């Protein structure tokens, strides 16, 4: 089981900063922008010198680059040269608009965006160092309730900001939750990849630019029943459901909906009855077990209605954990103090005689 100290120490883990996503990874203008080669720097838009590839997905690639204008490292995300379909371009453009609108410390910041000379879009984002929650869970197995709550609270804070703008992420999963280590406290959470996002007010025709009716968009293991069913009349509660699934996995160390393939996972999401967390991990407080169960209700009407409501219950659970820990500390101190009163009396030594003489002189005075 992971400990607080282990969660803080991610310096020895992967420190790439950005993960390749289904359509993502930054860069800027220049025809046929290539990866950096030995001895020759590739400079895009006259400003971003590519240094190394951080990762790639199905239709996008992310590079570490040096911003020549501001003298800092950034992450550049752009559509790959062989990904010419309009859907890939639309997703990256959508991610740029969402990231630009959401100004929040728990959302990966966007500093620039544009189009290459050949028409491919690019994004310039903050360069992060640390690890994804996926990597963290592989390293630790599972998290303590306190650590899991701390991560969920920050993740929900990011989602609350997005939802306030009418933006539904649609692909909340451990791969898109990045942990940046900080000295003296737990990691800073950064929510990544808004490429699959949709505005809650979007019409079905608007959404059809990226998806087709009945098409599953997202990662099945973390998708709500209404998503895996191919429905498109959903709201922000699908993101809250995903946070519940992440909490279940982080606390138990087990996938909530395992499967050999996507089809098996979808069936599991729709019909599987999850064992209560406490049946797997008895150290999970009953209140936290109930919170996760509510977040993962199949019927959206029984879930949390907002990220703020979800946060409120988690904060109460965290306060109860802190109070219990404080009581344990106080009980330990009381036992130590009680033990001291039962110690044998002090034997006289070389300092006792001068003390008696001092007391005697005070009485005579």
User: Residue 274 corresponds to which tokens in the numbers above?
Assistant: 């999850």
Query: What pLDDT, on the 0 to 100 scale, is given for residue 223?
Result: 94
Domain boundaries of the chain, sorted by first residue: 18-28+41-126, 131-318
Instruction: Give the DSSP letter of residue 275.
Output: P
- Residue 163: pLDDT band (50, 70, 90) is very high
Query: What pLDDT, on the 0 to 100 scale, is given for residue 190?
Result: 97
Residues 2-38: tens digit of each pLDDT: 444 457 554 444 444 665 444 333 333 333 445 565 5
Model pTM greater than 0.75? yes
Query: What pLDDT, on the 0 to 100 scale, is given for residue 19?
Result: 57
Query: What pLDDT, on the 0 to 100 scale, is given for residue 90?
Result: 83
**Stronger pLDDT, 70 or 59, i.e. the higher one:** 70
Can you name the residues that pair with 198 across neighbouring β-strands?
168
Residues 197-223: tens digit of each pLDDT: 887 665 444 454 444 444 556 789 999
**Stronger pLDDT, 360 or 275, i.e. the higher one:** 275
Domain 131-318, CATH among 3.40.50.10310, 1.10.510.10, 3.40.190.10, 3.30.360.10: 1.10.510.10
Query: What pLDDT, on the 0 to 100 scale, is given for residue 117?
Result: 79
User: Residue 341 corresponds to which tokens in the numbers above?
Assistant: 């009163």
Query: What pLDDT, on the 0 to 100 scale, is given for residue 344?
Result: 44
Treating both helix axes as pointing N-terminal to C-terminal, what angle do 237-252 and 307-341 enclose, rounded to 10 degrees?
A: 30
Query: What pLDDT, on the 0 to 100 scale, is given for residue 53?
Result: 94
Instruction: Determine the Cα–Cα distance for residues 347 and 26; give it in Å rounded to an integer.
Output: 75
Query: What pLDDT, on the 0 to 100 scale, is given for residue 42?
Result: 87
What is the percentage of the chain residues whose pLDDT exceeds 90?
52
- Catalytic site residues? 171
**Stronger pLDDT, 255 or 355, i.e. the higher one:** 255
Interior/surface letters 210-246, b for 16+ CB within 10 angstroms, e for the rest: bbeeeeebbbbbbbbbbbbeeebebebbbbbbbbbbb
Q: Which CATH class is domain 18-28+41-126?
A: alpha beta
User: Residue 58 corresponds to which tokens in the numbers above?
Assistant: 């199905």
128: nearest Cα among 219, 55, 34: 55
Query: What pLDDT, on the 0 to 100 scale, is given for residue 63?
Result: 94
Instruction: Determine the Cα–Cα distance for residues 157 and 107; give it in Å rounded to an integer.
Output: 9
Query: What pLDDT, on the 0 to 100 scale, is given for residue 2?
Result: 45
Q: Are the beta carbons of 96 and 122 closer than 8 angstroms?
A: no
């Amino acid at each position: 089981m992971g400990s607080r100290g282990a969660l803080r120490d991610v310096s020895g883990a992967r420190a790439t900063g950005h993960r390749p996503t289904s359509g993502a990874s930054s860069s800027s203008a220049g025809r046929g922008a290539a990866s950096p080669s030995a001895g020759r720097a590739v400079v895009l838009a006259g400003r971003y010198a590519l240094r190394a590839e951080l990762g790639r997905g199905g239709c996008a690639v992310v590079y570490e680059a040096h911003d020549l204008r501001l003298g800092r490292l950034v992450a550049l995300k752009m559509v790959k040269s062989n990904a010419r379909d309009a859907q890939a371009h639309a997703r990256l453009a959508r991610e740029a608009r969402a990231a630009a609108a959401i100004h929040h410390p728990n959302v990966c910041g966007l500093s620039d965006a544009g189009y290459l000379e050949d028409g491919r879009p690019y994004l310039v984002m903050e360069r992060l160092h640390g690890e994804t929650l996926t990597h963290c869970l592989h390293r630790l197995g599972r998290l303590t309730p306190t650590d899991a709550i701390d991560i969920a609270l920050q993740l929900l804070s990011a989602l609350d900001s997005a939802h306030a703008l009418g933006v539904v992420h649609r692909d909340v999963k451990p791969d898109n939750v990045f942990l940046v280590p900080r000295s003296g406290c737990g990691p800073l959470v950064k929510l990544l990849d808004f490429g699959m996002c949709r505005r809650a007010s979007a019409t079905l025709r608007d959404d059809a630019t990226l998806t087709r009716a009945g098409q599953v968009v997202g990662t099945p293991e973390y998708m709500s029943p209404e998503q895996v069913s191919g429905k498109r009349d959903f709201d922000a509660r699908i993101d809250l459901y995903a946070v519940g699934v992440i909490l279940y996995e982080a606390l138990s160390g087990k996938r909530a909906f395992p499967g050999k393939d996507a089809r098996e996972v979808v069936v599991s999401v729709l019909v599987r009855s999850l064992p209560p967390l406490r049946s797997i991990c008895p150290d999970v407080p009953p209140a936290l077990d109930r919170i996760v169960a509510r977040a993962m209700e199949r019927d959206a009407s029984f879930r949390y209605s907002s990220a703020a409501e979800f946060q409120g219950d988690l904060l109460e659970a965290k306060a109860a954990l802190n109070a219990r820990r404080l009581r344990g500390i106080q009980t330990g101190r009381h036992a130590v103090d009680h033990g001291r009163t039962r110690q044998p009396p002090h034997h006289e030594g070389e300092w006792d005689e001068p003390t008696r003489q001092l007391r005697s002189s005070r009485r005579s005075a």
